Amino acid sequence: MTIEDELHNATPAKLTVDRVTKVYRGKRQDVKALDDVSLTVGEGEFVCLLGPSGCGKSTLLNLIAGLEQPDAGTLTADGELIEGPGRQRGVMFQEHALFPWLDVTQNVLFGLNLKPNLSDEDRRGVARAFLEIVGLTPFANSGIHELSGGMKQRVALARALAPNPQVLCMDEPFAALDAMTREQLYDDLQKIQQQRRKTVVFVTHNVREAVCLGDRVLLFTPRPGRIRAEFRIDLPRPRNINDVAVAQLATTITTELKRLLKAENV
Ligand code: ADP
Ligand code: MG
């Protein structure tokens, strides 16, 4: 396999979530984090899971990533049962979770350990290519502690992308960043998605962010976590978080979310 194959050949996967229920057992009481949730995410589709905290968004993301198992129901990627984590599904969290004892390049190389068919030289080539994509070439040999929050999330993105996954699972990846840094990352993420399309599941509680990035936005309500509404976002790309159309649609979605929460006495 050549670097070119490595960089361009992952077809995005179709995801299915079929009647999934997840209960966390507690000492005093059980929490039904997800109740009978079903959805399909198309190949290369960017779906945002939106809702207030505690409605099961992270739980669903972790199930898709294979980090947790459902109590009932099934999840599949390209028709194959998701039974554990795999390199076909990259993950990125709010906390960057980089290894502080490794430099920037070594962090990106880490994800490539899962690809035994690549030579060391090829791995380095792939890492270099992804650091370029996220704009961190000048920092390839920097230590993690030398980076700003935004740069750390860029490294985390490069690390998630480097093994060329079919699916990218992102859990509030930009929530801890300042607004300006976040806006730059929205631009970059849209650019990356245009160039090397992934199936993306993106968790957020930020309505505008969901409208800016998503092809589709799913609204969750809590106790128990369920999907209650869905919005297809057909606005032209690239989108800017400050676009009037983005703001207007975000207002519509916020109104609907508030209505649903009120109807459920949340
Ligand atoms: P969200 O990401 O939408 O904020 P979560 O999926 O993290 O929601 O949580 C959904 C519900 O499940 C919450 O009530 C939360 O307290 C509970 N929960 C999540 N993870 C665990 C866990 N590991 N153990 C017990 N309860 C949990
Ligand atoms: Mg969460």
Atom 21 in ligand 1: which residue has the minimum CA distance?
Answer: 24
CB of 54 shorter than 6 A to ligand 1: yes
Reduced DSSP (H G I as helix, E B as strand, rest coil) percent helix, strand, coil of the chain, to 5: 40, 25, 40
CA 54 to chain centre: 18
Mean pLDDT on 175-196: 93
What pTM value is reported for the model? 0.95
For the CA of 225, the closest atom of ligand 1 is 10
pLDDT tens by residue, 6-21: 555 679 999 999 999 9
Q: Look up residue 54 and give its amino acid.
A: G
CB of 24 shorter than 6 A to ligand 1: yes
Q: What's 103's DSSP letter?
A: B
pLDDT tens by residue, 59-104: 999 999 999 999 999 999 999 999 999 889 999 998 878 999 999 9
Q: What is the pLDDT of residue 8?
A: 58
187 pLDDT above the threshold of 90: yes
Identify the nearest ligand to the CA of 33 by its number: 1
Best of 17, 21, 29, 31 for a ligand 1 pocket test (most atoms within 8 Å of beta carbon)? 31
CB of 218 shorter than 6 A to ligand 1: no
